[in-house]
Amino acid sequence: MATNPQVKYRINIRYQDQRSRYYAEDLGNGILLKMVQIPAGTFVMGSPDEEAERSEPEGPQHEVTLGEFFMGMYAVTQAQWRAVAALPRVNWALDPDPSRFKGENRPVEQVSWYDAIEFCARLSVRTGREYGLPTEAEWEYACRAGTTTPFHFGETITTDLANYNGTYTYNGGPKGINRRKTTDVGSFPANAFGLYDMHGNVWEWCADHWHSRYADKPKRLKANGNLPWLSEDKNADRLLRGGSWFDHPWGCRSAYRVSNRPVTRNSNLGFRVVCRAARTLQ
């Protein structure tokens, strides 16, 4: 890959632990953006008819194949956001401190889809690597990490495992805490790929435009899940995945899909990034 002469932040740290392999972008002042290696594979996307609280947009189930990519270990934090928001504008102005719930290690929220795209564009210019939002297929594949249950940790969910509105229960699970705010990223157990907070805390923007059923999905997107499913309407609603601190537990399931206008900013909307052309770890 050609070297960008304006690159200031390079991959200079490599890690490997029992759970994952990843690299870290140095954003300056000790702020790192950790990117986890997600292996290539094929999985069944969507939920089975018998899954509790299933909704129609989650079907029909279908196989999707993906190439290897790297995904943020955590949702983008407020510290990471501030570091990238200080970089030169590409297309869109960024508020350096948009979040309602303040904390350097809390996820940035109250960011629109366009804000997230601008973050990725600025990060790409500075690193010389192409960053973007995950496709919906990449997100679900990464969230499941080889599982087929409603959550990567099993058939039900508790507030010891994720941050959501614990006043409500799912599939026989217990009631829990309603924290009414975000929590620091990494506060709950990671999945088998080494990704944290894929269920709850903040909804995560995806690259795709909203489509209400998978039956219309082109075959080429099943053969290559690293490509987003787009429409001709540039103002179409965008996909969100994962649930949030505000939501019922059924909305945190791996297969659950929802959408919003790309200009929307709420205190439960965040994102994480992917990189599909990062240097392969040795």
Q: Specify the pLDDT at position 95.
A: 98
User: Could you give the CA distance from residue 217 to residue 211 in angstroms, rounded to a whole number?
Assistant: 8
Residues 6 or more apart in contact with residue 75 via CB below 8 angstroms: 107, 108, 185, 197, 201, 202, 204, 270, 271, 272
Does residue 101 form part of some domain?
A: yes
pTM of the predicted model as reported, rounded to 2 decimal places: 0.92
Q: Mapping DSSP to helix (H, G, I), strand (E, B) and coil, where does residue 251 land?
A: helix
Judge whether residue 234 has pLDDT over 50: yes
Does residue 3 form part of some domain?
A: no
pLDDT band at 278; cut points 50, 70, 90? low
Please state whether beta strands 62-66 and 203-209 pair in parallel, antiparallel, or not at all (unpaired): unpaired
Q: What is the pLDDT of residues 45-73, one digit of tens each?
A: 999 999 999 999 999 999 999 999 999 99
Does residue 114 form part of some domain?
A: yes
The secondary structure of residue 10, as a DSSP letter, is -
Does residue 167 form part of some domain?
A: yes
Does residue 169 form part of some domain?
A: yes
Domain that holds residue 28: 11-275
CATH number at residue 21: 3.90.1580.10
Q: Specify the pLDDT at position 31.
A: 97
Q: What is the pLDDT of residues 171-207, one digit of tens each?
A: 999 999 999 999 999 999 999 999 999 999 999 999 9
Does residue 183 form part of some domain?
A: yes
Number of domains in the chain: 1
pLDDT band at 19; cut points 50, 70, 90? low
Calculate mean pLDDT across residues 221-249.
97
| Residues 63/47, Cβ–Cβ less than 8 Å | no
Does residue 208 form part of some domain?
A: yes
φ, ψ for residue 142, nearest 5 deg: -70, -40
Q: What is the pLDDT of residues 78-112, one digit of tens each?
A: 999 999 999 999 999 999 999 999 999 999 999 99
Does residue 146 form part of some domain?
A: yes
